[in-house]
Structures are given as structure tokens and as C-alpha cells.
Structure 1
Amino acid sequence: MTTRLPAPTLAECAHLNPAIWQKVNRLLVRKAISEFAHEGLLTPELQTDGQYQIHSDDGEISYRFRAEVLALNHWSIPADSISKQSGEQPQALDALLFMLELREQLLLKEHVLPVYLDEISSTLYGSAYKHDRAAPSAAELIHSDFQRVETAMSEGHPCFVANNGRLGFDANDYRRYAPEAATPFQIVWLAVHKQRATLSISATLDYEQMMREELGEAQLATFRQRLQALGLNDGDYWLMPAHPWQWQNKLAMAFAAEIAQQQIVFLGTGDDLYLAQQSIRTFFNVSDSRKRYVKTALSVLNMGFMRGLSPYYMLATPAINDWVYALVEGDAYLQSKGFHILREVAAIGYRNPYYEAAIKENNAFKKMLAALWRENPSTHLQQGEKLMTMTALAHLDNEGRALIAELISASGISTDQWVAEYLDAYFAPLLHCFYQHDLIYMPHGENLIMILKDHRVARVLMKDIAEEVAILNPAVELPEVAQRISTSIPDDMKTLCLFIDVFDGYLRHVAAILHDQCAYSVEQFWHAVARCTHRYQAEHPQLVTQFARYDLFAADFAHSCLNRLQMANNKHMLNLEDPASGLQMAGRLVNPLARWRDPASMGEV
């Protein structure tokens, strides 16, 4: 009897209709013009009627739009103001054509362009899904639970134009595993032989305890019985989670020899249901919200990287987290701010001997099978508090209303006070980690979870530690296993960790939203950031030498550009072991704090 596979259905493309397609193309063209002008790839020309104009490479096509140029060369462009003409004929906005028409100005090389167009197409596909669904309004989201907010986010990374590529997923995978699809799924469990796999675990935990907590006694016994039924000694194996997509599309074939030789044993799916988070390869347990996050390798291409996990990095992950955790928990100032990290408490990495023998560098072929467990933020909640991803502060609902505007309105306090409390919870701890401990994170929206009370930010939790954290002072003593986080870079690049990752990469977008929707100008916002910085410096006079050496009130700073980076190499845009060497710089940005260098100048704006 012939087995029939499920037939394709309308569901894969039901959201692709003319009205929605027109809307999401307009939004993406708006973002493309804004971010490419911000990075100096495009130079819009001011016209006599107050509009701006850019031209295609051949000069035949023109785009006209209104814009307000804000601090940090941020181009705030109303989407409905954009028009396109070919000669005198109006044309529909088309994000794919936009990339083709301006490819020379955008420095898109022929070998990069097809993959980049693929990423743009996928980003549009996802955007159409998000704008076609019955999504909650910003006003509704401020009352929603943690996971409802997580799955409602619609923009992705605020700087990258092609930010939802996820190349490797098909249309069915999208509805199963994309965060915005909000489809709970079961993860795959494997038994991996200890000859090939390495378990690393926090000093505060042991493997048996963690497996009981994550799987439960009954599930754990079932998996061990399956190993024993195959005549295998369960003591020779670690139990390891994997993404179902990764199992079906990569592991079952690329690791076929390992499976045939019972180095890897498929055990089945677990009982618990998980939801994909904004980072796509991290999953939150919705069957039991007390359990840990699970993060697994996922060999899809997104924003310049194959989203694998390195077994080499996994080896040191818990030790690095334990070290950073001890530092943070032992610092009185950070504790006064309620600042904590979510530890990655255990990790498993599997090394395929064939790829190990074939490849010297640590590339995507060596990152197909690894996983980690991260602490659950729910354990940090007190009475009356709730969790929300910091990405939400840059979120606009399908009608264009900002979630941050609704939070401020519902809080009952002024915008200025709300922003001051937010900066005190978020930015002040980052300053302290940098100046006191030479410690940096990757503190963009997706990597922080806010704890809110009465719609106000009470404190923040930092996550994604081991892959992103760095110590900028080689003299800091680290455990041998954690040495890879120690890095040496020139002094003039150290402050870029705040200027680029915080100011330009995140706060620039929040400031623009407040400017547009809360009658809170960008000058008021950066004035608040300057006040927060001066207050921190006044509270820590012992660090005055550090403040002068790493000057946050400098006149300007080098502009490191993310889209330039992605479009130069959209398959592997940076060497993560030496990221500074591959940065794409384009001129300098005027520092919005420079005007408030003197504390005496800190009057009202």
C-alpha cells in the first residue's frame, strides 16, 4: 500500500493577499530607506518642497518621502509619505525591486544578492503573516502574559532590514516553529554516547537532578527503558534535547553513521510543550512554566549566521555563567538595582568525528548538535510583577501604536519619570559592569527580560551570557575554562560596546518612538540618558580615571554598521572568535550626550 504524504494546502499562503503585501512592502521599504540612510549607504537629497528624494542606480527610478532626521542620524520616515516614480509614472512599492534598483549604492555583490533577496522575501512572508493575523493591540498587550507578548512581536531586530530570513524553514515549518506562529511543539530527545558528547554543568546542579526536574521520573524511566530494550547501557549516554526540525532536516541524515552505530539513539519526543522565543532556537516550557528554557542548535540561516551551537562553546558555558553570576550577585550596586543574569546551567555538545577530521575551523558543520538549559525568569517574580521582553519597547502594533506609549499611559506617571526608572534599571547596571568590572554583554532588546510592576520597569534580567559576554581587561583573573571570554581591544573601541550596542543599536529606536508618539523629544530622551550617566558617575568617584579613559560624553564615535556587515557576507558576517576584526565602519556619529558633558549643564531641556 502506498503511503500518501500530506498535500499542500492554502494555509501556506493564505496571508499573501494584495492588500497585506502592499502594506508590508511599504513598511519594509520605509525601514530600508531609514536604516540604509542611517548607515550612509544612501544619501537622500532635500527637495524644495521639503521632501527627500533618492534615485535608483540608473537614475530612472525615484523615491520621494518626508523625513525628520533625529539624533544619531536616525531617519524617521512616515510610511504613507513614500512614493515611487519611473519617469512620471507612479509605481507600487516593492522591497525586492528596491534592492535590485539600488544594488550598487547598497554595495550588494553578485554572489551575495540572491541569498539577500531570499532573506528579503522570507522577511516579507513573515511580515505578511504578522499583519494578517488577529494580533493583539498595544493596549491589550500591556495586560498580556509573558508568552503572549513574546509571540506578538512583529519587527525582529530593529536595525537589520533582512531580519527574518530563517532560510531552511519551509512554509509548513514556519507555522510550526516561527515565534509569531505561537504553535506549541514537543522537542526531540536523543541519547548521545559519552564517547562523543560532553556534558558541562553548573557547580550548583548535577545531571540526575536536572533530568528529574526537566523530564520527571516517569518520562526519564521510559527513555532509559528504551535504551535498555536495545541492549544498551543507559549509563553510557547523556540525554539531550534537539529541535524537531534539526532532527528531520540535518541530524537524521548528516549524522546517519552515528545513528546506525548507536552513538546517537532517537528516544522520541518529550511530554512537555514548548514555544519558540524571539531568538527562534530558544524554547519556553508552556506545560510547566517553572522549568528551564531549552536552547538547541538550529541550522537555519538568519541575519548573517547559521544558527548552530558550538560544542566547544558548550564545554565552557556553565562555568562562564557561574563566574559572571558570582560577580553580579556579589556586587552590592548591581543587587541594589535588582540586576541579575539568567544562568545557562548545563550544556551538552556532540562532536561528529567525520566533520571533526574534515574541517579545521569551527564552522557551521561542527555546530549541528548541541544544547543548553537556561534558568527560567519566572523564578524572579514577586507579588504583583510580570515579565516582558525588552524588545516590546520598540514594538508597534498592526495599527502603528507603540506598546511603550501604552505602558507609560497606564503607569500614571510622566514620560520623563518612566524613562528615568527604565534607564536606572537597564542602563545604570550596564555602566557599572563596564566601568567597575570591564564586563560587557550584548544588551539589545531580545537579550533582556524586564520585570514590570504597575506598568513600570522595576528591574531587568540579562540572558544569553556565554556566547555574548566578554571581559575587556586581560588582567582580570578568570578560571581556565572561561579564558575565551577575555579579549583585548584598543581603548577607543571599548566604548563602542555602549555607543553601538546600546545607543545606536537599541535606544535610538526607543527614542524615536517616544518622540513620535509620546510628545517626548529625542533631546529629552538623551538628556535623561545623560542624567543617568552623571548620577552613576557621581555615585562612584573612585572610578573617575575610568570615566575619563572611556568617555561617554565624547563628541562623536565610530559608526559600526550592521546592514553593511550582513550585506558584505550574509552567510557568515563575523568571526565570533575575533568580531572586532570584521566590523564595517562608516564615518562617525555625533554623540547625543556630548552637549551635557558638564554636570552644570544638566538643566531642563
Structure 2
Amino acid sequence: MTKSLDTARRRLLAKMISELSWEEVLHPEEGNAFQLLLASTRVYRFQATRRIWDNLDIEPESLSVDTGETPCPLRFVVDAREELDMTPDTEAMFLRELSNTLRQDIELKRLFGGLDAQALIALPPRTLHAALEGHPKAVANKGRLGWGTADVAAYAPEYKEPMQLFWLAADQTLLRSGKSRNICENDLLGDVFGTDQRDALRQEAQQAGATDAHVLLPVHPWQWYNHLEQFFVAEIAQHRLIPLGQHGPKFVATPSLRTLTPVSGGPYEVKLSLGILNTSAWRGMPGKYIEHGGALSDWLSDIVRADPLLTGRVIVLREALGHWAAHPTLSDCPDAPYRHHEMLGAIWRENADAKTSPNQKAVLAAALFHQGACGTPLAQAYANAAGLSIAVWLEALFKVTVVPLWHMLCRYGVGFIAHGQNITVILENHIPVGMALKDFQGDLDLVDQDFPEMKNLDPDIRALLPRKPPAYIIHDIQTAHFVTVLRFLSMALTRTGQIEESRFYDILRDVLLDYKTSHLELAERHNMFDLFEQTMPKVCINKVRLAIGYGDSGERPLPARGTDLVNPLANNGHLQGAIDGELLSAGR
């Protein structure tokens, strides 16, 4: 246990110093070794390599502190109190989040630490995803404030504990609802339960007082027992919400915690409100997108189906059915903190496993930079299993992920916040052949211009979605995908000697330029959404928590901005000259 604790503490501290230095909260001095002199007079030393995104890749075993004590991330917070500049209450809560994270890091090591990369890629995706370590940028990425250890053991993904959903019969007058076209709610529930169990539950609801005005609504069992049963007391007493207990097939949590996937397989996952704080935000569900989620999914599916570049490469995981309930009294308090407005909601979303063929696997992009006990990143393990060099494997990956993301932005003005849990890579014989997109409730933006290609999108949805100018919406790719996914993938592959980071981004640049030259009709849009500028913004998430603390607010916290990054995709002159020549010859 002592060795596990020491390893986990060193790894978490290395991540903390790395990310907080990258966010310009800490300023280590560089020499033969890096040295961090704190205002408290404590001195931390370590070995590190500065990577292509200007982030420090720290060797955890090299960490030392001048006191001679074993380095500890909790003690570091106290030692760096002046640099972190938190109020006392924020510092205490941050320490709790860190401690929770440290405990689960130790647990992940216990549960999965003996598996090498080859063993991990052989696991079913659901089990592999349970082994993942969480948000790569967030320092306290498993804080899960609101859960005790019994809750974590019952509901956290790493334990893979099956759970039954808690069901309510909900009066439709309480709800805002939406669905995809051609979706029949009764048929969907039949797919989830089986027709006999669905009908039995409906009969039970009727015996409990439900009428034709009630619909069957799932909630997370923890949410019911810890929030909803007390919060909606009047609605329960009035039979507007009728509790039916836990029923139906078993589900397990995915890394996002509030999205549950069926243990025995099935066409749908379910995303549920969850009143805990994790990675900077309360994990409830906003209601403003619910009525239009299905229609938006349908529009995106139509785009993919009709576009030669996207069809066959991209799967849209449609939001088939959604319900959300406002608390009747609290809805008259619009300025109340957002978490109180997001207590009760459910979205049935298509399951990636059910949308792929039997010889394919649907793997979260966040899994690609995960390392097995052997130290090998899973991307390299997949390339080895496919019999490909990592360079060829990465080229395939970029063609079916980054190219479609950029194409959808350039042609349709749609930006996906493409972090490692929103992007699922479809592997066939271990080779990337496509990707699945999900989570359009707040993680999708439109450019602030009405492109002709948007004409089939409902004007109400257009007005509802965030509209961003080109210079901002491009960050949905740069920040959410390049910096939050590829930064960690390139670092892991370079650290283990698989490929140099410069070569990694040369491959990405070449793939994007090949796409650009083959779609000259979009030249103006490619320039509008330029991925090749010399610099790009740095977006910081940890320093925001340090600054704003844990007090309730009416809106989710927004990231802060740091010093601009040097873009590793910045155009080489000869490559850009070749493109310009092709554009001139095309008369554009």
C-alpha cells in the first residue's frame, strides 16, 4: 500500500505541477533540473522534458522537496499557497477534491495496474473505458464531490458495478420533451426492457395511480435517494411524479459518470442528471436543449448521410428521446445557481457499440493515450496489433477524426467540442476506420453566419445554439481536440520512443493539407477556419477553479485564457505555396 501511495502521489503531483505551469500559475526555473522556488521557501526539484505544446513532461520519480519528505500533492497545495492564491475555503475544498482523486488513482492501480497495453486492448470497450484515468487536463479529475466511498463503489465506472435505473411515472405537464423523427417512445422502451417487462412496468404505474398523461422516466438511483425524493416532495404527494422503484436491465457507468451503458448490450445508452461536482461543473442536465436534441441529431445525421466525405466515416449517435423537468417553484427563481435547475432529466442516446459491425470496436479517443503497465500507449498497441507503423496508423486516425471535424465546420458551420469522451474512434482489425460523435446538449456550436448549408436546420434550433465567430469556433477543434487529446497522445508516443512530436504533427498537417487541396471549392471557408496560423489561444481550466472557488453560481464556469501557443501545425512555406498555386490554377 505504501508503494502504491507513493507512486500515486508522485504521478498526481507531476500532473499538477505540469498543468499549473502550463497555465502559468507556477513558474519553474529551468537548468540541469527544473526547480520550483515557492514563496513559502519550499523548493521542489524534478526532471522534465518540454514538449511541443510548451508543456512539461515531468518524470514523477525525479520529484523531490528540500525537506527530504516524500513529495505529496496535498502538502504541495499548502506549500504553494501564495502561488495558487486561493481563499481558505477554496483551498480546503480543492484539497478534498485532490484527496478524492488520489484515492481513486490508487484504486485504479489496484484494479487495472497489472494489465499491459496488449491486455487492455483485448478488453471489451466498456471494460477498457472503466480503466481510464479521467480528464487529462483537470488536476483533480475524480473529485466527485457529493459521493462517499460507498457511492463511489456502487456508481463509479472503475468498479463496473451493474445498477438498475430508478423509474418514475411523470406527468407530462411537468416535462419538456423531444425526440428524433421516427422514434416511438413505446417502441424505444420495448427495446430497453423487452416488451413484456415494459408492459408490466406500465401496468404497475397504472396501479400506482398513473394515467395516460404520465410517461415512464428513468433517473439515476443515487439521484433519486439523495436529491429528488426530497426535492420534489409536493409533486410526489400530488401523484405528478410516481416512484416505481428500480426495474429493468442492468447498466454500468461510463467515464462521464452520468451516462450509463447497458451491460448486456442494446441500442441505447442513457444520460441522467447527477447532482455531484466533478471536473469543475455540477453534473446535472440543462433543459434548454431537450426539446430540440432529437431534431438536431436528425439534421446532423442527414448531413453525414448526404456528404461523400462523411458517409462511411462518421456516425452520429442520435439523441433519440429526452425528458426534462423543472421544479415548479424553483423555476420562478431564474437566478438560482444552475445546479438547482438541472436536477431531473434523461436522454436516451444511440449506443456506439450497437452502431458498429461485429468486427469493429468503438473506443473513446481518451483511451488512445492511456498507458498499460508496460508503459506502452494504447494507440501504439493498436498499431502493433494491426501490423502498421505508428505513422501509418496515425494517418488513418487523422483521416477519420480530424478531417471530418474540420470538414463539418468548413462546409456546414458546425463546431463540435471534440474532447476525448465526445469522440469515439471506430476500429476495425485495430485500424481507425471512422468515428462516432455524441453529446450535442451544450457541446455543439454554430458559426455566427448563416451558411446556405444550414438551410434545413430549424430556425428555432439555430437561434438556440451558441453562435460563435470563426476565430472562436475554431477552438472547438484546436482546444478541445488538439490540446486536450492530441497533446497527450503525442507526448505519450514520444515519451516511449514511438515517434517524434514534430513528426506526429507533420503527419497531421499533411493529412489536413491533402484534404484542403482536394476540396478547393471550400478554399474561402478553409481560410475562414484556419488551423495553420502561427499561434493559437491557450485555454486554462484549473486556474479558474482556484480563482472562483466552489461557491454556487448561475452559470457554468468559463475557462481562462493564457499566453498564446505556438501552433505546431503552422504552415510550411513550400506547402502553402503549392496550395496557393493550385488555387490560382483553379481560378479561385
Tell me, which stretches of 5 or more residues in structure 1 are unaligned? Answer: 1-16
In the alignment, what sits opposite 1:84?
A: 65
Partner residue, 2:360:
385
Asked whether 1:236 is paired with 2:213, we answer yes
Does residue 332 of structure 2 align to residue 357 of structure 1?
yes
Name the residue aligned to 2:472: 493
Match for 1:68: what amino acid? T
The answer on 1:503 being equivalent to 2:482 is yes
Instruction: Write the distance in 2 (CA, Å) between the matches of 1:218 and 1:251.
Output: 28
In the alignment, does 2:45 pair up with 1:67? no
Report the equivalent of 1:256: 233
Aligned match of 2:321:
346
Q: Which amino acid aligns with 1:29?
A: L
Cα distance change on mapping 1:584 and 1:382 into 2, 3 Å: same
1:427 maps to a residue whose letter is V
Matched, 1:462 2:437: yes
With structure 1 as the length reference, what TM-score do the two structures score?
A: 0.90
Distance of aligned partners of 1:159 and 1:601 in 2 relative to their CA distance in 1, 3 Å threshold: farther
Does the C-alpha gap of structure 1 residues 480 and 469 become closer, same or farther in structure 2, counting only changes over 3 Å? same
SS of the counterpart of 1:271? strand
Quote how far apart the aligned CAs of 1:28 are.
0.3
505, 516, 523: which one aligns with 2:495: 516
Deviations along 1:324-376, one digit per CA (max 9) or x if unpaired, are: 2222222221115x112101110011121121123445711111010010001
Give the corresponding residue for 1:452: 427
Distance 2:461 2:158 in 1: 35
1:269-284 counterparts in 2 under 5 A?
A: 269-284=246-261
> In the TM superposition, what is the alpha-carbon distance from 1:218 to its structure 2 partner?
2.1
Which residue in the other structure is 1:54 paired with? Answer: 36
Corresponding letter in the other structure for 1:442: I
Deviation of the 1:314 alpha carbon: 1.6
- 1:593 has 2:575 as partner: no
Percent identity reads: 26
The answer to whether the 8 Å contact 1:213/1:291 transfers is yes
1:299 lines up with 2:275 in the alignment = yes
- Partner residue of 1:41 out of 25, 38, 47: 25
Query: How many residue pairs end up in the alignment?
Result: 573
Please give the TM-score of this superposition, normalised by the length of structure 2. 0.93
1:68 to 1:252, Cα distance in 2 relative to 1, 3 A? same
1:38–1:360 Cα change, 3 Å:
closer
The equivalent residue for 2:150 is: 172
- Alignment deviations for residues 173-217 of structure 1 (CA, whole Å, 9 cap, x no partner): 111100001111111111111121233111121122112222222
The one-letter code of the counterpart of 1:294 is V
> Once the 2 structures are TM-superposed, how far is the Cα of residue 564 of structure 1 from its aligned partner?
1.8
**Counterparts in 2 of 1:484 and 1:128: CA distance versus 1, 3 Å:** farther
Query: Please, which moves more after superposition, 559-568 or 202-211?
Result: 559-568
2-structure distance, mates of 1:385, 1:572: 45
The answer on whether the counterparts of 1:405 and 1:517 sit within 8 Å (CA) in structure 2 is: no
Quick check: 1:126 aligned with 2:101? no
Following superposition, the deviation at residue 261 of structure 1 comes to 1.4
Q: Aligned in 2, Cα 1:518/1:404: closer, same or farther, shift over 3 Å?
A: farther
The alignment partner of 2:229 has SS state of: helix
- 1:556 corresponds to which letter in structure 2? T
- In structure 2, how many angstroms separate the alpha carbons of the residues matched to 1:405 and 1:332? 30
1:419 aligns with 2:394: yes
Please give the root-mean-square deviation of Cα atoms over the aligned residues, in Å: 2.1
Aligned counterparts of 2:355 and 2:201: Cα–Cα separation in 1: 32
- Aligned partner of 1:115 among 61, 81, 93: 93
Which residue number in structure 1 is paired with residue 343 of structure 2?
368
The residue type equivalent to 1:85 in the other structure is: D
| Residue 291 (structure 2) aligned to one of 301, 309, 315 | 315
C-alpha deviation, 1:315, in angstroms: 2.1
Seen in structure 2, the aligned counterparts of structure 1 residues 294 and 489 have a Cα distance that, compared at 3 Å, is closer
> Do the aligned partners of residues 303 and 597 (structure 1) sit closer, same or farther apart at CA in structure 2, a change above 3 Å counting?
farther
Distance 1:479 1:134, change over 3 A: closer
SS in 2 for 1:294: strand
Deviation at 1:379, TM superposition (A): 3.0
How far 1:571 moved relative to its partner?
4.0
